[in-house]
Amino acid sequence: MSAVTVTKSKPFSAETAENHEDVEKIWSVKALHHAETYFKLISSIDAKKMRLTKIDDDIYCEFKETFPEIDVENLQEIDQFKSDQAKDKWRNWIPKFEAKVQDFNYGTLLRNRAAEDYGPDNAFFVTRIQFLAVEIARNKEGYNSVHSAKK
């Protein structure tokens, strides 16, 4: 039997982690597939009647309480999601759902403008719980119903 050498690894830090092109491609394909599937769904049925999780109401209430300034009809990517202040606010909010929402931090595409389909100028990358919070709000508030009404 040969000896195995074990080396101690450094703690993982998202701030200093390297991006690997193959992993990014896989995530991109999964995120795009999710976006296409979701848009087909809200285009097929009235989104007001949809439930995305078992805890939609909890997510909605927590989201509206913490982020009352966010207009879910027309998102401001930089100000509401990507600025240092926004990132800090989201970092404190997201962990509330770690044990409640499967794949809560999975990368997902979110539309900037609710009335439009996904596109190069109408999508940005967020975590799954951010996507759920915004899309649950859009569904409850009727902004996604425009897509099923087009049929």
Q: How far apart are CA 127 and CA 108, in angstroms?
A: 6
- Residues 121-130: what's their mean pLDDT? 94
Q: Token pair of 145, please?
A: 């119903």
- Say what the pTM is: 0.81
What are 67-80's pLDDT values in tens digits? 999 999 999 999 99
- Residues 124-146: what's their mean pLDDT? 94
Confidence (pLDDT) at 148: 83
**Phi-psi category of residue 34: left, alpha or beta, with phi > 0 → left and psi -120 to 50 → alpha:** alpha
- Residues 92-116: what's their mean pLDDT? 92
Say if residue 151's pLDDT is above 80. Answer: no
What are 8-33's pLDDT values in tens digits? 556 655 566 566 666 556 667 787 88
Q: How far apart are CA 9 and CA 48, in angstroms?
A: 48
